[in-house]
Every structure is written in C-alpha cells, then in structure tokens.
Amino acid sequence: MAKGGYSVNKRAHRAAASLAAVAAGVGLTFAFPALAFAESKEGVAVILPDMVEFIPMVVAFIVLAIILGKFGWPKFNDMLEKREATIAESLRKSEEARAESERVLAEYQKELAEAKAQAAKIVADAKQMGETLKADLSAQAQQEAAAIVEKARAAIEVEKRAALAELQGSIADISVDVASRLVGTDLSDDEHRKIIERYVNEAGSFDAN
C-alpha cells in the first residue's frame, strides 16, 4: 500500500507540473494573441508584446497555477487515493470471498467423501450381517435336520426291538406247541424253558444279522 501511495503521489506531482505548464501555456497564448502586429509612428509592423499587459498576465497565471497546485490538486490527490483505496478494498473483499468459497467447497467435498464412506460401510455391514445370518440359519437347519433324523432312527430302533421281542414270543409259543405235538406229550417246565431259550437265542442271532 505504501508503494501504491508513493506511485499516486508521483503521478500527482507530474499532473501538477503538467497543469502548471498548461496554465503557463494558456497565459502565453493569451499574451501573444496571434502575434499581434503593432504599427510604429513610421508605419512599420513589429511583433512586440505590450509589456505593461504581458507581465501582469504572466504573474496572474503563475499565481493561478500555484493556487491550483496548493488547493486544487490536494483534493484531486485525495480523490485518487480514495479511488485507489476503494479498488484495493474491493480486491481484498474479492480475495476473501474467493478464499471463503474455496473453503466451503473443500468442506463440502470432505463431507461428501465422509458420507460416501459411511454409506459404503453400512452396505458392507448389512451384507456381512446377511451372510452371517444365512450361515447361522443353514447351520441351525442342518442341526435340526440331524436331530430329526436321529430321533427317527431311535424311534425305528425302538419299534424294531419291540417287534422283534413280540416276534420272539410268538415264535417261542409256536415252537413249543409244535414240539409238543411232534412228541405227543406235554413238555416239562425245564424242557419248555430250554426250547424257549434256544429259539430266543436263534431269534437274537437273526436280529444281529
């Protein structure tokens, strides 16, 4: 800003000098109105200014130039400085606005990136949760199916053993009856027991096979 003020003052001094020169030129122009011709007593034309009028006119224009340089130019200089200050303030505000817009844009881009990252994380977590739930349900279903199969096997085994026991009893009764008829006499309790044990053992070996 000091450099700018120095430049303005320098331009102001140059303008003041130019103004003084213009004023002096105008004074000289009026002092020599078309190089007026004056006739001497002999009728000879000479190109000479009237010094009585010329000197006061030059002095008046010099005084006018001094007055303008002292009082007129400071106002003009102040106007130039105010104009320069206004331009500098506008540039400063423009720079601040640009910096603020860049800051807001950077903050928006940062928030947008964070939102995208959070959304991607939510999607990934939901996908992982779905896969975990699917695996848990599959494992639970397999366990339930295995338990059902095991219960069915146990029930079948119980029914099988009950049927074999019933079959063994029926076979024993039939065998005793057949043996009694073949022998033609009633068997004693000891013989009856041995026959039953033999058929039970045979039925057990059949079940094992």
Instruction: Give 107-153 pLDDT, tens digit per residue.
Output: 989 998 998 899 888 988 888 888 888 888 888 888 888 888 888 88
- Could you give the 3-state DSSP secondary structure of residue 76? helix
* Per-residue pLDDT reduced to its tens digit, 7-66: 545 555 565 555 555 555 555 555 444 344 444 444 444 455 566 777 788 788 888 878
Greater confidence, 70 or 132? 132
Do 24 and 62 form a contact (C-beta atoms < 8 A)?
Answer: yes
Query: Tokens 């397999």, residue?
Result: 142
Quick check: 157 pLDDT over 80?
Answer: yes
What does the alpha-carbon distance between residue 146 and residue 148 come to, in Å, rounded to a whole number? 5
Do 73 and 15 form a contact (C-beta atoms < 8 A)?
Answer: yes
By CB neighbour count within 10 A (0-12 exposed, 13-18 middle, 19+ buried), where does 61 fall?
buried
User: Residue 40's pLDDT is what?
Assistant: 43
Greater confidence, 78 or 185? 78
- Predicted TM-score (pTM) of the model is 0.36
Closest by CA to 180, choosing from 190, 188, 170, 169, is 188
Contacting residues for 16 by C-beta, under 8 A, at least 6 apart = 68, 69, 73
Radius of gyration of the chain (CA): 66
What does the alpha-carbon distance between residue 147 and residue 141 come to, in Å, rounded to a whole number? 10
**11: its two tokens:** 């331009």
Contacting residues for 58 by C-beta, under 8 A, at least 6 apart = 24, 27, 28, 31
Residue 189 is given by DSSP the state H
- Could you give the 3-state DSSP secondary structure of residue 146? helix
Residues facing residue 45 across a β-bridge: 39
